[in-house]
Amino acid sequence: MDCKDILNLIAIIVIPIVAVLIGQWIQNRSEKRKDKMQIFKTLMTSRIYGGTVDSIHAFNLIDIIFVNDKAVRTAWKNLFDAYSSTEQSDLIANRRKVLMYKLLEEMAKSLGYKEQITWENIQNPYVPQWIVDSWNIQAKAQRDYINLLNEINKFVPAQTQKEDKK
């Protein structure tokens, strides 16, 4: 067996293994990007609501999915700290909103959209007027329902309430 045969044998064995490893690496990279994109899309679409169940799930995945992205994780930590505050004021509400936009900006950079998705794009979501009207109607209906229950409660005799507790 000469040198050429040995090289051919090595090539026959090594090339398929290298091809499989490269393919697996590309697939893993693609899956990680897909996971990052899903979190980004969820948070971008839910930013108009101030929070949804899906956005909470996405927040809880940031430390896992963006494990190697310090800027995203720092932005998430800052937002998490603001959400953890018990203070309720317009100032903290505005700070939370700005920190949310900062997180989205860092995610956009991480995904390679630094030039395409700007701070202005992030802080100006599309919210059609009909949805705002719907939210206002729903909020009014909830307030009216609570007021109705409070009024009904005024007419229920205290004795009936005591009997119900027994």
Mean pLDDT by 10 residues, the chain (166 residues): 82 87 86 92 87 92 94 96 88 90 94 85 85 90 93 74 59
Distance separating alpha carbons of residues 48 and 71, to the nearest angstrom: 23
Q: What is the pLDDT of residue 69?
A: 93
| CB 40 within 8 Å of CB 62 | no
Q: What is the pLDDT of residue 140?
A: 94
Distance separating alpha carbons of residues 75 and 141, to the nearest angstrom: 37
Q: What is the pLDDT of residue 90?
A: 86
Looking at this protein, which amino acid is placed at residue 92?
I
Say how many CA atoms lie within 13 Å of 75 toward its Cβ: 22
Q: What is the pLDDT of residue 40?
A: 94
Q: What is the pLDDT of residue 74?
A: 96
Looking at this protein, which amino acid is placed at residue 132?
V
Distance separating alpha carbons of residues 35 and 112, to the nearest angstrom: 14
User: Closest Cα to residue 100, out of 24, 108, 157?
Assistant: 108
Q: What is the pTM of this model?
A: 0.70
